[in-house]
């Protein structure tokens, strides 16, 4: 959500801009229903400071920020209590976790930058080879990405071991692309591999929060600025957002490859269906057993 993006960027703002950010977080409805003067008064800053804040968090000015905030507040599920407790019943878990996932995707839809997706697709469409780097839960996302992208016809590989992707990064060449995945954007080992990749001339697409060390190293940043739920009872919603962005990039690359590539994908699908049919036939056929003698 936009509010989560503001929250993650507070430390990077100037002292006066941070006052505006805190005022927005304290009462987002005031920023939507009021004018720039009201927000400046609430934050105890000048109106030009409000404009500088809007630009610092990635918007052209006050009106663009206000519009995006209004959209973010409008799509959030009203009154959804996502806080989990030990006394929650199964019905509570269904409602809360589904609400959390839905809101994460709504936030993503309203904050994801189409221009960043376009720039990432430009790199992927020209890539000689695509490598996916991630660690921990992001390593699982990297594996999922490799599974989706290998059908594009471009050589792909996924690494989640920091020692392995460090070596792999040093062997890349100009024309290769790394897609680095991180939910926090500050993993030292991942940053080192990305630095090695950039040093040898490879391009790096980062899926991470904006304003992070990984974001600063990327050729193209696809910012995923979502709030991290810290309770131990549920997966981090950012993981779902990363998976959706991977889907967007994979489908976008497939569409760029044209109708001939679509025909290749259809042939691959038919081959899989044929294998499934043969296996089903095997399961239905009578089993022959040798006599024990």
Architecture of domain 114-256: 3-Layer(aba) Sandwich (3.40)
Structural contact between residues 148 and 250, judged by C-beta atoms closer than 8 angstroms: yes
Q: Which residues are bridge partners to 180 per DSSP?
A: 133, 206
- C-alpha span between 230 and 237 (Å, rounded): 10
Quote the CA–CA distance of 275 and 228 in Å, as a whole number.
Answer: 42
Q: Quick: pLDDT tens for 191-246.
A: 999 999 999 999 999 999 888 899 999 999 999 876 555 555 555 677 888 999 99
SS3 category, 223: strand
Distance CA 176, CA 168 (A): 11
Global pTM reads 0.69
Which residues 6+ apart lie within 8 Å of 259 measured at CB?
Answer: none
- Count CA atoms within 13 Å of residue 18 on its CB side: 8
* C-alpha span between 171 and 217 (Å, rounded): 18
In the chain, where are the structural domains located? Answer: 2-75, 114-256
Per-residue pLDDT tens digits for 109-166: 877 889 999 999 999 999 999 999 999 889 999 999 999 998 877 899 999 999 999 9
Q: How far is CA 27 from CA 42, 98, 179, 218, in A?
A: 9, 26, 37, 34
Pick the more confident residue, 194 or 78: 194
- Residue 37: enclosing H or E segment and its boundaries? helix 36-43
Assigned CATH for 2-75: 1.10.10.10
């Amino acid at each position: 959500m936009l509010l989560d993006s503001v929250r993650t960027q507070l430390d990077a703002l100037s002292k006066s801009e941070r006052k505006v950010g805190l005022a927005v977080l304290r009462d987002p409805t005031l920023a939507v229903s009021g004018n720039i003067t009201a927000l400046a008064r609430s934050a105890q800053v000048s109106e030009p400071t409000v404009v500088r804040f809007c630009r610092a968090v990635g918007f052209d000015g006050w009106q663009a920020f206000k519009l995006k905030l209004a959209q973010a507040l409008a799509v959030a599920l009203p009154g959804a209590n996502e806080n989990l407790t030990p006394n929650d019943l199964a019905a509570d878990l269904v409602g809360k976790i589904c609400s959390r996932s839905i809101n994460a995707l709504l936030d993503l839809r309203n904050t994801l930058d189409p221009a960043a997706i376009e720039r990432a697709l430009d790199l992927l469409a020209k890539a000689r080879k695509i490598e996916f780097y991630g660690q921990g839960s992001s390593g699982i996302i990297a594996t999922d990405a490799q599974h989706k992208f290998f059908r594009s016809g471009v050589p792909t590989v996924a690494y989640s071991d920091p020692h392995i992707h460090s070596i792999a990064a040093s062997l890349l060449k100009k024309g290769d692309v790394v897609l680095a995945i991180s939910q926090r954007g500050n993993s030292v080992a991942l940053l080192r591999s990305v630095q090695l990749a950039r040093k040898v001339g490879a391009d790096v697409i980062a899926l991470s929060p904006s304003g992070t060390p990984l974001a600063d190293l990327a050729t193209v940043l696809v910012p995923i600025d979502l709030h991290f739920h810290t309770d131990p009872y549920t997966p981090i919603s950012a993981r779902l957002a990363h998976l959706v962005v991977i889907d967007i990039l994979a489908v976008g690359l497939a569409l760029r490859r044209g109708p001939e590539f679509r025909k290749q994908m259809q042939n691959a699908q038919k081959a899989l269906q044929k294998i499934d049919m043969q296996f089903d036939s095997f399961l239905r056929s009578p089993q022959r057993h040798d006599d024990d003698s």
